[in-house]
Structure 1
Amino acid sequence: MIGNRVCWSRAAVDFATQVDVGGLEVDDPRADAVFDAIHQKLPVLREQGGGRSIEASEDDVLRAFTRPITSNEPLLLFIKGDKGTGKSHMVRWLKSRLGARPSWHVVYIEKRNTSLRRVTEKILTGIDTPKARQLREELARASSEIATAEEAVSALLARLDHLVTFDPATEIRGLSGVSPTELTDLRRKTHRLLGDYTFRKVLSRSDGPVHRIVRLARGGAEPSEDVDESDLHLTEADLQVDPAVFDDLGPELQNLVGSLVSNRYLRTDIAALCDWYLPRAKAEVFMGQGTDLLSVFEDVREEIAARGHELCLLIEDLVLLHGIDKQLAQALTIPASSRLCKLRAAIAVTSGYLHSLDTFTDRGVQFTLNINVKAIGQTGLRDFVGRYLNAGRLPDAPPANSASRGQIPDIPNACLSCADKPRCHATFGASTDGYGLYPFNGTAIDRLVELASPGGFQPREILREVIRGPLETAEDELPTGGIFPSGRFAKPLDDVRQAIPPGMRAAIRRTNHLSPDTEMSLRAFYAQSPPNADPALEAVAAYFGNQLSHGIADDQGESEEKDETPPKPQRSSASEIDQWANGASLLSSGTANRIRRWICDAVITHLQNGPYGVLISRIKGSRPAWLIGSHTLRLSDIQIDRSQGGGVVESPVPFRIEATDDNAILIQGVLAAADGSSLDSVDQGRWFFYLQTRISDYASRLAHLAAVDAATLLPAVQALEVLRNAATDPGHTVSTALPAMLMPAWPGGQHPAVEKFLKEVRPVRDEALTTVRAYATAAKGAGKPSLLDVGPLLRQIQVNLKARSVPSEPPGEDHDSPLLRQLQTRQSRAAEQAWNDVARSVQDVARFLDPTEDLSATLKVVDRLVKECHLRGRLPRADSKESYDTVRSQVGTESMEPYRRLSRKIASEVESGDLWDILNNPLPQLTALGRFAQVTQELLSGLEQNLTATQITGAVDTDALIRELRGLATLLDRACQEAQ
């Protein structure tokens, strides 16, 4: 198949479709030529007094800016608008229309690579005065001192802390209701926070507010980035920190941080205080503390006045000048004089930003960009795309002719030299400028713009989604022929081609085997009334080398040969099923449950009339359910994508209906059948034959699951027998074990590892119970399920009645049961963890107390010794008696029994079944015993040291010493006699 022409350059398209005018370098011949080629006229409003405005044009803006200055007042012109509305574009357009103005000293400040230093250097361009040289040196010095963003963040916080702490100002904007005493206290708290290393670290995180402010001040904004005014300020939300970060610091700072987090008013006041000094701190950090921009600006105007010129300043985005904007605003309002030159400035600024600059308010002419689809109109939008297409076709074109003052440059039309122009323009159309719309037509542009820029004019989205993406697809596919526009075409905008109903999409796939996606793209985007074919669409398809299907229609599947009536007009809104298939909305619970009920009834009918031999009974309840042998079929088992009313529990055996075009037809057929229509009323009944095959397969699967055999039952019974050991009374016979298997009463005070294990295996136990119940119910025949129908299970229960765990290698036949594998793995892990904890506790006790010791005799001796020594004041410390009594009250003679038992067990090999030996948590008892032994050991050691540490120096009272030793001996003898 013959391919189609690719009449544009990818490099030229990428260059022209940069998503912001800031990407096109000023005074670069090629960039200027492209800018002129793509410029879109923007409707504007000129603001009047009292909040009124009148319609205006770009020419009105140009005339207002270039009119002669007849007074000494500066001519200020503000271009306002929301983010992405083209404010910078308008300033750039003004620059391109100024032409040669020998008497003007023009300074243009771009968004790209803009920093506070760069802005100042731009203003100083061509100025060589002492103050200018001094400022350049100061800028260079400030720049050399800060090499990285981290240094800048640290320097900015340090300077901000200094200003907040030592500035004597008593009035702060945003804190008008704060008294001088309160302001002093607020400064103290702010200094305490900003001076703390941890708090600074929190504010200095890479995604935090100070890094954001520093990035913009150092020129980190992208050309396409619309900086939000709030990004330039510190707000109370920026001070919302995590109190846990400050847990290891002093109580004073912890209390202050706690107040900061809990008190929004405090955060707001601290943020207002910091934000008041932020511009000054930024200017001093990034431009030097000796900078006086107001003085330098006057010096610049003096120099320009001496040359007999006037200063023309154009600023693409005032927001990026935050830090020097107040000084600049003050400088721009100083009238001209014999010493100062006349001044005009055009400034782009986000709506609302001027309110923060009182000196600018009501001092200039204000224009607001009136950007909306209605104002631009359909023709304007097509022209907008056409200009970019033409720019992409001029990769080697010479720069546009320089425009004389106020005139539009001559832009070459690439189509004029193309041999395909007559047929191409006849098929695809052209803009009012004569630029061909190929590979789009006007309808395709309208549709794509509507999807990319809904509800308004968003030029960046149009550039990305209407021009760049589709042209990239076209560039790959057009040379082959018969492929474009494929499913890739405008996929981010409309993945499913919503303009085509799901029924027709499915019909196209059945009839167009070569390129169904291409046909759907043509119908969705190029047809005047999608999806209906029209002469213009057929011409486009023929040009691309494609064919459109004939004899298809939506929903009914009736061919055009049977029905010669004109095609139905496009519906004003898609049906619920169409929206579901397109991903636009969920299927309502009412519709979804009708589908679920119809399919469940079809499955039950198939089972009842098929050779399956299963018992089926209806389960009473609020929602329909059916017992199929041992398996329960519920409405929620019919799982429909993106639908409501299906519940939140995942079905073990789902019947899935995905959101596809074929399933949209299936759902329409089911709903029609549920309403009493014939099966062939939708898609000639094809949906029914497809669904019958799925229902048959699903019914066979349910019938297989309905019969639970002994191989499945045995692991379930074994799992319940093992888990019954967690009960208070696990039972030792079948009759006594059954209650523990079915409804165990678990004791309290379990070891944490055992408690965690029982929670983890709850699903295992529930699955085992379900299997046992299903087997018992099936064995009974029919009727209400009961857990007591265990007659057929007695033999299986008897076999493993003594099991405490699942054997690692079960004897006999292969028991590869996932159920038992889960239980075995988790029990082994829990036993290892629990016994490790117990072993550590036993070893801690063994350091002081032998397992064979007679604790009863020891307690009597030590109790008596502590009592007598306390009465005689011979204990090592004043609180020794209190410490001993505390730990003594927590132990008794019974404490040795679990200690001895666990010591013996640890000496042998511990198995997973031994988990049940520590069902009742022994750790508290072991801990108490170990603590008692440790305190007693320390107390006796202290007594020994008191006696042996006596130093004999000088004269010794021998009689007194003898009396002390005899007294201690008497105490020990008496204690031993009482112990016997």
Structure 2
Amino acid sequence: MTSTIATEAASPSDAVLLATHTPLRIRSRGDGDAGDFITEREFIDAFLNGPVKEGVLVAPVVGESGSGKSHLVRWVYASLEANPLRHVIYLPKAQTSLRDVIERLLRDLPGSQFDEVRSKLGGLSEAVSRETLERKILDELAAAVRDVQVERGDFLTKALVGDRGLYVLLHDPLFREYLLRPESFIPRRAEHALRGRGVDEDDVPPVFTVDDLPLEIANVNNASDLARAAFRKVSADSQMQVAAVKLLNDHLDVAVMRAANLGVGSIQAAFMALREHLVGQEIVLLIEDFALIQGIRRDLLDAIIEVGTVGGIEKYAPVRTMMAVTHGYYSSLPDTFRTRAEASSPVYVVDVDMADVSEGTDRTAVNFVARYLNAARLGAKALEDSAPTTPNACERCPLLDACHAAFGASDDGYGLYPYNESALRRAVAITADPERKSMFNPRRVLARMVRGVLTEEASAIRDGRFPTANFLREERARDREQTAARRQRDLPLAELSALDERYNEPERTRYLLTFQFWGGVSFNVRPDVLSAFSLPPADLQFDEGTTARPPSIENEIQQRPQAATIPPALQRQLEDVDNWARGGQLSQETARTIRTVVRRALVADISWVDPIMKAPLGPVLSRAVPDAGQISRSVSIAGARENLAQGISPILRFEQTPANGLLFKSLLHFQVAPSSAPDALIELRRISDECRSDVIARVVASMEYERTQLIVAAASLIAGAALLGQLALKPRVRDFVGAALWSGDHYVRADNSRSDQWLQTEAKYLADRKTAVVAFRAAVGASQGGGAVHAVDDPRVRDIVTAAAKLVDSFAVDETPSWAREAEQSRLRLVAVIDRQLSEWDAAVNVIRGEVPEGVSYLGTVDAVKAATEMGTNQGFVRANLVEVESANVAARARDFSSVTQLESAIELARASDGLDRWSVVGRAVGDEAVAIAKYLRDTAVWLDAGLRNAEGRDLAGTLDIDADIETVLSKWGDIVTAGEEANGE
């Protein structure tokens, strides 16, 4: 079926071509005027029967690629009737190699001159490989640009010619290798010369561009000195590069001809010989695309405008030349040629303005597509069998009346099914060339909306699934990427939203396409069209007054200010959102505005009561619910640029839907004028309510206030409180709660028995603990504004503390939340000091037990020391400060010796325990009395021992007259010392 839909003019047979041919709109343009429309018959009559001035008539047919200009040339060729006085030469665009073109020009012509050219062509095709031709083209191009004569004042070209210009670059091995790399310009040009235009290649012929110049060679130092100098000259100056490209292109045809062993002017001479040979006849030269003729264009141009009548005598046969060419290429032809051509004939323009097509003021496109649809229904054989007439396939269809009533027909009566006129016009517009959307492009229409759709959607049409999501998918996607001004009109967002809410895929897309194309961008689609597509009547009763969620968003047109009163910046954002809701990308500025509004709503008016906790400050919220540069981690928008790392899950994500487009528009209005969009406030409240639990959870996680973290922190705080003596030895739940919440404010340890290392470590822990307790209280308590926590959630605290009490001996420091980690590390350092502290207490107890053994009275010992002090003083035996000794004796008499026993018990219990029990014992232990007693006994032993040695020394010298009292003192001192030695095992 689709074999009849040819996108290239030379492809179909004459019968198919004539059956599918739609009369083109042709403008006959004279010097400087816009041109008048003429019919094809008027055109062909002027071309074939108009006067030939001095043997020359050149009718340029100008249009953009795909506009139908080549088709017109092919149609003229198919329409020609046999005429012995006409010698017709047809050069199709599919056969544009050197060999093809010259053979067609010289076909069936006898003579040595023609045979010589044919012989050279045979050598070109048989003996020359593409690689050889590439090198020869490069050599000939180098030679051509070296010998160019430069006009005075053309300094750029002057720098490029001669032995030190482009010539040296084209011959240097390094640059030559670059210019001959695969797929670069010279190999492609050689391939064109040998094979002609490829099937999938553009109509635009290969010519040098700045990108083809050897400007990106990294190892330029490997080139010769002259080549490097030329390279620097060209690469450093963009104007020089443009001049180089022009110089190369100007001499490219000459280089190709010389590379093919065809002398410059040989084709011109052969064609002039042909004209001389055919005097008395006319030559009709039809060129489908002059730009694609390789190598011989200059010769051919010169030959077809050469006058045929010299001195009133016809020396050469007249030539009627019809040549299809793009606007740009025609403008680049030599001025002499264009002047002669336009003096002989008008320029004919075949471009059709898309505005006429899409707005329904012209049925060219409708009739054009309908002819191809009819040809597709008939098939190539039926068309060829019925030639020269073209039957209407619809006439044999039993559904003709119903089908034409539903889908319509062309001016010729050809049915438009599966299109109707509305769908056809939109499809034509959407398949237009993106670079020339204002021009009707028959080739694209045939390739995509006729052949493409009939092929890709064939089974869907048969099975009642048409149109599917694949219907013109690429074209629709490309259209969505256009700016709002260039994009096809679409349903209002409110209607798109209603469609989204009512239907799921694939029905939603099928209805949407039907409304967009067959309904003329409305819900008003004929019931018989829906029935033909197996779609039930649409269940959509929508109008601008209908309300849906949220009420005034659906009716935004009535609610919002008129466009004239909307600030330009807001208008741009509204258009941006509209574009986004239809599949485009949302600009960063608009996305940032929307994200900011929504994010502000997410964190506003949250009551921190579930769980109860102190309201977080701004920096905490910014970390948990990111804003500024990372706001997309809080509010993500599909179809907007955002650098979300893998694994990041935003709090809220807006999909690219019409409903969200309506919401965004409402939010943008609200941002500028809150009173104009009360519905936005309702929506923001709904969004914040839906997201509140997630926001709170993220804040809790960010602050490390999750239950497991609080349990570990509480365990650390309980353990620390125990080390500071703030936990009972047999604690209950309320004791644990008090220990966890105790901040240590105004804490001073009354016990002076602790070592300096203990006291320093304890002070550091106490300072760190305060920070951790403040955070813990904030996690479980409430405050007024930014003040301190004034109340805690008792049931929750009890739950946390109960779990913490079970964990207190078994958690690791890296399990604590960061806000409690420094305190935990300080606590562990305090734990590490315990053994040292126990050792110091042990030493004190050992001193006491050495001086006051079991069974010896401490007070009796103190009294004996006091008596010895008094008696020894009179004899001069007290070898210490008497006042201090007496004061120490008095203080010692007041000490509570039971504290020694208590300390001994604490040391023993601490050594027998571990974990919290050990920390509590050590934390609560009081050793200041015992340490003071140990110090007193140690100091007393020192001076007593010194006094005794002094007394004994005097006795041995025989200088001491001892009476009974002194002897008693010495005996008592000796007993005290001896008792101590025995207790020490000496």
Q: TM-score, normalised by structure 2?
A: 0.62
CA contact under 8 A between 2:96 and 2:195: conserved in structure 1? yes
> What per-residue deviation string (whole Å, max 9, x for no partner) do you get for residues 514-557 of structure 1?
822222222121114x33325xx222112322113335437876
CA distance in 1, matches of 2:657, 2:128: 58
CA pair 451-692 structure 1, distance change in 2 beyond 3 A = farther
CA contact under 8 A between 1:78 and 1:367: conserved in structure 2? yes
* 1:411 aligned residue (367, 373, 390): 390
Counterpart residue number, 2:805? none
2:300 corresponds to 1:328: yes
* 2:322 aligned residue (338, 346, 366): 346
The 5 A counterparts of 1:950-969 are none
Counterpart residue number, 1:390? 374
Counterpart residue number, 1:360? 337
Counterpart residue number, 1:433? 412
CA distance in 1, matches of 2:557, 2:675: 22
> What per-residue deviation string (whole Å, max 9, x for no partner) do you get for residues 838-897 of structure 1?
xxxxxxxxxxxxxxxxxxxxxxxxxxxxxxxxxxxxxxxxxxxxxxxxxxxxxxxxxxxx
CA distance in 1, matches of 2:679, 2:156: 83
CA distance in 2, matches of 1:139, 1:66: 32
Report which of the two structures shows the higher radius of gyration computed on alpha carbons. Answer: 2
* Local SS of the residue matching 2:473: coil
2:497 corresponds to 1:525: no
2:236 corresponds to 1:259: no
* Local SS of the residue matching 2:222: coil
Q: In the alignment, residue 607 of structure 2 is paired with which amino acid?
A: Q
* Local SS of the residue matching 2:286: strand
CA pair 302-503 structure 1, distance change in 2 beyond 3 A = same
Q: In the alignment, residue 354 of structure 2 is paired with which amino acid?
A: V
Counterpart residue number, 1:501? 492
CA contact under 8 A between 1:294 and 1:328: conserved in structure 2? yes
2:270 corresponds to 1:288: no
CA distance in 1, matches of 2:107, 2:770: 90
* 1:626 aligned residue (621, 626, 629): 621
CA pair 504-107 structure 1, distance change in 2 beyond 3 A = same
Compute the displacement of 1:254 (Å).
2.8
Counterpart residue number, 2:274? 300
* Local SS of the residue matching 2:60: strand
CA distance in 1, matches of 2:645, 2:129: 57
Q: TM-score, normalised by structure 1?
A: 0.62
CA distance in 1, matches of 2:98, 2:356: 37
Q: In the alignment, residue 215 of structure 1 is paired with which amino acid?
A: E
Q: In the alignment, residue 241 of structure 2 is paired with which amino acid?
A: R
The 5 A counterparts of 1:662-741 are 662-664=659-661, 667=664, 692-707=689-704
Compute the displacement of 1:677 (Å).
8.6
Counterpart residue number, 2:285? 313
Q: In the alignment, residue 137 of structure 1 is paired with which amino acid?
A: S
* 2:48 aligned residue (66, 76, 86): 66
CA contact under 8 A between 1:580 and 1:642: conserved in structure 2? no
CA contact under 8 A between 2:168 and 2:226: conserved in structure 1? no
CA distance in 1, matches of 2:821, 2:117: 99
Counterpart residue number, 1:157? 138
CA distance in 2, matches of 1:575, 1:393: 43
Counterpart residue number, 1:37? 19
* 2:448 aligned residue (447, 456, 465): 465
CA pair 552-192 structure 1, distance change in 2 beyond 3 A = same
CA distance in 2, matches of 1:493, 1:553: 28
* 2:637 aligned residue (624, 641, 645): 641
2:47 corresponds to 1:55: no
Q: RMSD in angstroms over aligned alpha carbons?
A: 4.6
Counterpart residue number, 1:578? 578
Compute the displacement of 1:641 (Å).
2.5
The 5 A counterparts of 1:18-417 are 18-24=6-12, 31-49=13-31, 53-67=35-49, 72-148=54-130, 150-165=131-146, 167=147, 171-172=149-150, 175-178=151-154, 182=158, 186-222=162-198, 225-228=201-204, 231-232=206-207, 234-239=208-213, 241-289=215-263, 292-305=266-279, 309-336=281-308, 340-354=316-330, 355-364=332-341, 365=345, 366-374=347-355, 377-399=361-383, 409-417=388-396
Q: In the alignment, residue 613 of structure 1 is paired with which amino acid?
A: I
Counterpart residue number, 1:6? none
CA pair 140-431 structure 1, distance change in 2 beyond 3 A = same
* Local SS of the residue matching 2:164: helix
Q: In the alignment, residue 465 of structure 1 is paired with which amino acid?
A: R
CA distance in 2, matches of 1:773, 1:183: 82
* Local SS of the residue matching 1:23: coil
Q: In the alignment, residue 626 of structure 1 is paired with which amino acid?
A: L
Compute the displacement of 1:260 (Å).
2.0
* Local SS of the residue matching 2:284: strand
CA pair 91-225 structure 1, distance change in 2 beyond 3 A = farther
Compute the displacement of 1:103 (Å).
2.1
Counterpart residue number, 1:478? 461
CA distance in 2, matches of 1:710, 1:223: 70
CA contact under 8 A between 2:137 and 2:259: conserved in structure 1? yes
Compute the displacement of 1:242 (Å).
1.9
CA distance in 1, matches of 2:118, 2:283: 20
CA distance in 1, matches of 2:582, 2:389: 46
CA distance in 1, matches of 2:774, 2:132: 75
CA contact under 8 A between 1:19 and 1:224: conserved in structure 2? no
* Local SS of the residue matching 2:511: helix
CA contact under 8 A between 1:41 and 1:58: conserved in structure 2? yes
* Local SS of the residue matching 2:96: coil
2:553 corresponds to 1:541: no
CA pair 203-145 structure 1, distance change in 2 beyond 3 A = same
Structure 1's unaligned 5+ residue stretches are: 1-8, 25-30, 404-408, 714-732, 734-771, 802-980
CA distance in 2, matches of 1:204, 1:410: 53
CA distance in 1, matches of 2:771, 2:64: 66
CA contact under 8 A between 2:27 and 2:349: conserved in structure 1? yes
CA contact under 8 A between 1:506 and 1:662: conserved in structure 2? yes
CA distance in 2, matches of 1:428, 1:181: 62
CA contact under 8 A between 1:595 and 1:671: conserved in structure 2? no
CA distance in 2, matches of 1:636, 1:774: 33
CA contact under 8 A between 1:401 and 1:410: conserved in structure 2? no
* 2:401 aligned residue (422, 432, 443): 422
Structure 2's unaligned 5+ residue stretches are: 481-487, 564-570, 711-756, 758-768, 780-785, 789-817, 831-986
* 1:488 aligned residue (466, 470, 480): 470
2:539 corresponds to 1:550: yes
Compute the displacement of 1:423 (Å).
0.9
CA pair 303-691 structure 1, distance change in 2 beyond 3 A = farther
Compute the displacement of 1:203 (Å).
1.6
Aligned length: 696
* Local SS of the residue matching 1:218: helix
CA contact under 8 A between 2:164 and 2:226: conserved in structure 1? no
CA pair 511-36 structure 1, distance change in 2 beyond 3 A = same
Counterpart residue number, 1:745? none
The 5 A counterparts of 1:747-758 are none
Identity, in percent, stands at 24
CA distance in 2, matches of 1:54, 1:479: 45
CA contact under 8 A between 2:355 and 2:438: conserved in structure 1? no
> What per-residue deviation string (whole Å, max 9, x for no partner) do you get for residues 38-89 of structure 1?
2232222223235564433322220111116566522222212333322211
* Local SS of the residue matching 1:105: strand
